[in-house]
Chains A and B, each alone.
Chain A
């Protein structure tokens, strides 16, 4: 059958970020996929080298708007790893609370968008309405809806006031009942079952081979969660369960994310109730030469930062590996062989975040060189110049 290439993007109504997919299809079946990124690249790793360790946290926060806690969290852990230093207990709890709040809002955001892609705008509206409540909680705790600016190497910038705690707990309790209803509406819906079950299956072997992370891996039966495997913050001090399902299809990814929000609410509540007293900042003075790594479980999977210091107040190298970087290649295992109409939800199922991923631009000059207008004019002028020199004409 004849192969057709469907270009999707870079500016399309599908997702809010620009990215470019090339779907090769035979009739209705997808036979190949290619992803072109680079529309979001801002050179953050390089910029980070021009800023001090303290300033960098604000820059790192702006890698991604949705993961605006995960990246500073991993970065501060990397800087603390260089020294090394232990963060005060209270700061650990506050960090955990903020990180889990972000997980709830990120998962709800994804759930809403997934509903939108499937034509379930009700789910979209409900999930985002609920998300507003979480953002309110975050605004009470941190003073901002999205970029919280709570993290600094050695601790947190702002304390949680004791009078805010009952207000936040009351608000979170009110969220649980609505979330319960949303869970029933999503997980028990027969149409959603028909639309998402058995679609875009990522088998356990594939998940391991492609190094899938986070909910994408956990939906395929890979029980990996940094919060359990290598506890940081206050995750080892509170009770919570890791959600693992075994089918690896889109429906399971939905289930993992929805159930994880309940766990996150449990963690936040536990942390707020058992918040220890004391300092919130370890007051780091100097950062010695050395290397450090920081890793945390972001809403989308493991987020990894590497920082190298030479003893000055600026990092000499900062490397970021976002979870989507590892999850993107799983498209090869999930999309191929499916219908075009299902491709949208499968592409969205890993909860891709391109602005996190775009840490580098790849220039593959081996295969072909792409000339643009400027290059062609330059080449043409150079040839004239060479000819002029040869002919001796001035």
Chain B
């Protein structure tokens, strides 16, 4: 395992990006930080700047105006990075699949590592998703 990846998996810092969501997934992500779930004890921290982040949590159906910014933000995140799509909209655009303002699914624009389904996913599901992601990366690097 490269030292970069090892450091990344130890304490993944998360940047949260909403590309036209209904707020629900975003609030459930914030909920993960509050006392009942408290993912900060696993070293996960929500950061304010994309340049400090290891994991990009992306929500929303990817509307025209915000996808331009999302692309730019993905270019700015230090690599290697991990991308997690949270919620039904980020997976497949869900209900907004026929909307004129949501032309492309997010994973056609940004490579996504883990999908967390649900509308909105419960905080437990989000935590489970991130844990699975970390395990997946760890296993794939151990084989090599």
Contact = CB atoms under 8 A, between A and B. Distances in A.
Q: Do A and B come from one complex?
A: yes
Interface of A: 10-13, 16-18, 38-44, 46-47, 50, 58-59, 62-66, 68, 109, 112, 124-125, 128-129, 131-132, 145-147, 353, 355, 361
B120 A146 contact: yes
Nearest to A109: B27
B25 A11 contact: no
B35 A125 contact: yes
Interface of B: 16-31, 34-36, 46-50, 60-61, 63, 65-66, 69, 73, 95-96, 98-102, 119-120, 122
B96 A66 contact: no
Contacts of A12: 48
B101 A42 contact: yes
B48 A13 contact: yes
A353 B22 CA distance: 10
Nearest to B88: A62
Given A18-B69, A65-B120, A40 B24 contact: no
Given A43-B102, A146-B24, 6 more contacts: A16-B27, A43-B96, A124-B34, A129-B34, A131-B34, A132-B34
A16 B65 contact: no
The listed residue with most A CB atoms (<10 A of its CB), out of B19, B22, B28, B99, is B22
8 contacts: A47-B98, A59-B95, A62-B24, A65-B26, A128-B31, A129-B34, A131-B34, A361-B101
A196 B51 CA distance: 32
Given A47-B98, A125-B35, A10 B20 contact: no
A42 B99 contact: yes
A192 to B, nearest CB: 20
Given A39-B20, A40-B20, A146-B120, A65 B101 contact: no
Given A11-B17, A16-B16, A355-B22, A66 B27 contact: yes
| Closest 9 pairs (CB-CB, A-B) | A65-B24, A13-B48, A65-B23, A16-B26, A128-B34, A39-B66, A43-B99, A129-B35, A65-B22
Contacts of B30: 16, 128
B23 A128 contact: no
A36 to B, nearest CB: 9
Nearest to A61: B22
Contacts of B61: 42
A188 B95 CA distance: 45
A355 B17 CA distance: 14
A42 B20 contact: yes
Contacts of B49: 13
A18 B69 CA distance: 10
B63 A42 contact: yes
